[in-house]
Amino acid sequence: MTLDKLKTGSIGIIKSIGGEGALRRRLLDMGLTPNTPVMVRKVAPLGDPIELHLRSYELTIRQADAEKIEVLEVAE
């Protein structure tokens, strides 16, 4: 499953980061690294952008970027 498919309030663990070059490097620099738990806090009314909570901070990313991040949903 990709990060953009997680529902609001759901928690997932990042398994892999897709993309190439500068995009991949930017996602990794923002703390989106494998084995990191991430929670979807909010989704904009039209679905873009998505607000995430990870590593004790809030991060907003575009849906197109979230589609490149593979996650494993954690049962609550």
**In CATH, which of 3.40.50.300, 2.40.50.100, 3.40.190.10, 2.30.30.90 is domain 3-73?**
2.30.30.90
- The per-residue pLDDT for 46 is 87
- The per-residue pLDDT for 42 is 92
Residues 6+ apart with CB under 8 A from 59: 30, 31, 32, 51, 52, 53
pLDDT of 75 strictly over 80: no
Stretch 70-75: mean pLDDT: 89
Domain locations in the chain as residue ranges: 3-73
The structure's pTM equals: 0.85
pLDDT of 76 strictly over 70: no
Q: What is the pLDDT of residues 9-67, one digit of tens each?
A: 999 999 999 888 899 999 999 989 999 999 999 999 988 899 999 999 999 999 999 99
